[in-house]
């Protein structure tokens, strides 16, 4: 499975991962750089190194796919609103990787 498909198929896991650094919830605004650096660190945890240009391209492709599925609502070229419901609430004061 390529990295883009992995992100699309595991969007909730990815958003929970980036929620460790910034608040992400249904209705939250999210920015391109949040997603781009989230992709970089998400795959680094899996020992996959991606270059800046790769993560930027993947961030645009990932957000385009989520907009097409109505999982994100686009406000501007680099700003979206999270429009999907998480299957369960985030645990309070607990890291997702614990």
Note whether residue 93 is domain-resident. no
Of the CA atoms within 13 Å of residue 57, those in its CB half-sphere come to 7
Q: Is the pLDDT of residue 94 over 80?
A: no
Note whether residue 8 is domain-resident. yes
Note whether residue 68 is domain-resident. yes
pTM of the model: 0.83
Question: Over the stretch 21-55, which tens digit does the pLDDT of each residue have?
Answer: 878 888 889 999 999 999 999 999 999 999 999 99
Note whether residue 97 is domain-resident. no
Q: Which domain holds residue 67?
A: 3-82
Note whether residue 56 is domain-resident. yes
Q: What value does the mean pLDDT of the chain take?
A: 87
Number of domains in the chain: 1
Question: Over the stretch 52-66, which tens digit does the pLDDT of each residue have?
Answer: 999 999 999 999 999
Helix (H, G, I), strand (E, B) or coil at 7: helix
Note whether residue 87 is domain-resident. no
Q: Are 67 and 73 in contact (CB under 8 A)?
A: yes
């Amino acid at each position: 499975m390529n990295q883009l498909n992995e992100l699309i198929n595991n969007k909730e896991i990815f958003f929970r991962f980036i929620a460790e650094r910034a608040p992400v919830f249904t209705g939250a605004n999210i920015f391109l750089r949040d997603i781009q650096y989230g992709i970089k660190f998400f795959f680094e945890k899996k020992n996959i190194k991606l270059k800046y240009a790769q993560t930027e391209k993947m961030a645009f492709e990932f957000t385009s796919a989520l907009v097409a599925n109505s999982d994100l609502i686009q406000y501007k070229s680099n700003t979206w609103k999270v429009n999907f419901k998480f299957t369960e609430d985030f645990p309070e004061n607990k890291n997702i990787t614990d």
